[in-house]
Structure 1
Amino acid sequence: MCLIFQVHLDYLDAGANIILTASYQATIQGFVAKGLSEEEAESLLRRSVEIACEAREIYYDKSTTGSWDYIECGNISRRPVLVAASIGSYGAYLADGSEYSGKYGDSVSLETLKDFHRRRLQILLKSGADLIAFETIPNKLEAKAYAELLGEERVNIPAWFSFNSKDGINVVSGDSILECVSVADSCKQVVAVGINCTPPRFIHGLVLSIRKATSKPILIYPNSGETYNAELKQWTKSSGVVDDDFVSYISKWREAGASLFGGCCRTTPNTIRAIGRVLTKNP
């Protein structure tokens, strides 16, 4: 069985309502650089969505009336599960850690980013996904590129923009979180905006800031609090304060204005299961 397929099932079993495709770092340019043809690269992008959709159908098929996936109100209905096609930043393609700095150099322009992302977006839009997740956006320039692409491609499915931060004040490039969120707020295709792959200790302040720039739903899915080492290409424990289990913060984040919750790097299905317990206990 495909390992990615099994991971999707694990998260569905844990209670996830949205599963993300394994396309975050998958790009046509990256696949071609590894020797694949453009046709093969495009097929792999489509396959990432197909696997998620297949996992959802298998999950529905094996669910039983007695499980918490069903709500009994005269009729039996399934817990809604959405498939979000993940699009990572230009920095994720570079694989040099720049998705955590947002520093692409002067040669990377708005048009450069739009040209880079356009074909992948076109493929994923027609893949059967329910929405597009633009994740770990490190700077305002890339947010503008996404927003313009959504308009130019006449996208008719919803999207979310999710930024990352390393100081709890700005996005990782140093751009104002308020300015970045304003870009998302002005884009009609964007239905939610928030923060991902950011240490839990910064989330509360960021949610409060985001509320000042948008009335759209706020989503948050932090990492475990560790730091990514670009040279070693691995996560390491942060020096100084180490975050506790961020599930204990969920109620505080919800009170601040967040309405969609999840986990990013170094979190597990158990994290989602624990979040679900908190939300169910305190609806």
Structure 2
Amino acid sequence: MTSPARDPAPGPGLVARLRAAGCVFAEEEAALLLGEAVSPQEREAMVVRRVAGEPLEAVLGWAELCGLRVRVAPGVFVPRQRSALMVELAVDHLGRPSRQARRPVVLDLGCGTGALGAVVAARVSGVEVWATDIDPAAVDCARTNLPARGQVLLGDLFDPLPRDLVFDVILANAPYVPTTRIADMPPEARDHEHRVALDGGEDGLDVQRRVIAQAPDHLVPGGILVVEAGEDQAPIAAGLMRDQGLAAEIRHDEETYATAVSGTKA
């Protein structure tokens, strides 16, 4: 699904209610709520939910990433705009002339809504997308967002995948918030997203260590692993990739405050 048309101008009363509830982008949120094709009673119910602290994306039932609208579901990790950097790295890799002339295969590991895989599929013709997640709610949600080519499987990281399946790109937006920092997260995430999608362990890299250790066995020669990390975590993740024989590179996007680490298999 693509982005909606321009929304009507929000009324001052709605903006004031959202601003009083602490919504930083009250005018933009009001415009999105007014743009929904619902009855006045349904819209008021949505506003009440947002004012009570529910994430805007959960209230709307969708989120947008890289111009693509994807369905969201209660408790499932909501796509963040900073993850667009991961998508750009994946699309750039798949577009290189040196890539083998066969259908590219992409894995959205710990997929949540499946937004990363869905955007790559929308941008790269003929791509086959697979996805896994340990959260049944995420798997159900991702199945509504991902194309028919490929599968969304329930299980821990690589465990549910066919043993002989290898990938051109592995996108792994694994949780990287240190356990002790979850309490400092915005309540929209802390109170409304399943903890398994947020908690990265003592230093935030517990899951990433497992991803990086296993990824080389699931990449084609020349394939790439892309993970998201905090800026201070990125050098550690890059070092872990080099320990596994991957050529690591750290990329930053100042506009979205994003950091991604990629590792290419020789």
Higher helix share: 1
Common fold, TM-score beyond 0.5? Answer: no
What is the TM-score normalised by the length of structure 1?
Answer: 0.31
What is the TM-score normalised by the length of structure 2?
Answer: 0.32
